[in-house]
Amino acid sequence: MLRKLILMPRKDKPKDPVRKCAGGRSFACRRDSHPVAKELFCWRCNTRMGCTTCCQGASDRVCLVCHDWASKTALEVHGAMVKDPKVAVDALKIVGMCNAGQIIDRESEQLFSELWKMV
């Protein structure tokens, strides 16, 4: 009996297949196949954003389904997203004028305060 045990080939247990992540619904999420890390979900619509390997950090994660910040941290860091496209374009114009030196910071703050009152 001992001889039989020694000469018989050992049966290896099949390895657990590594689950692959194909990306999620987060802006700029990696789309290549990679092992799944901790999965992340949008705090508003509960859509899968991806995993910690393929998604941005919590403060920069944007959901492509509800078109808003995907975490409360991002909302706290950046503030609410501007949903009205006209207001967003006007805000970018103010930023562009300030960066080009056409207006000073005080004037840009005034323009922004007037813009946010209209929203």
Q: Are residues 65 and 96 in the same domain?
A: no
Residue with tokens 């562009």: 96
Give me the number of domains the chain comprises. Answer: 2
Residues of 42-69 as b/e, b for ≥16 C-beta within 10 angstroms?
Answer: bbbeebbbbbeebbbebebbbbbebebb
Q: Name the residue with higher pLDDT: 111 or 4.
A: 111
Q: Which two tokens mark 48?
A: 């899968």
**pTM of the shown model:** 0.61
Residues 24-81: pLDDT tens digits?
A: 899 888 888 888 889 999 999 999 999 998 888 888 899 999 989 999 999 999 888 8
Q: Are residues 20 and 38 in the same domain?
A: yes
In a domain, 1, yes or no: no
Q: Where are the beta strands (DSSP E) in the chain?
A: 20-21, 34-35, 39-41, 48-51, 62-63, 68-69
Percent of the chain at pLDDT > 70 equals: 84
Domain that holds residue 91: 85-118
Residue 116 has pLDDT above 90, yes or no: no
Q: Are residues 73 and 92 in the same domain?
A: no
pLDDT at 46: 94
Q: How far is CA 67 from CA 17, 26, 54, in A?
A: 34, 10, 19
Residue 15 has pLDDT above 70, yes or no: no
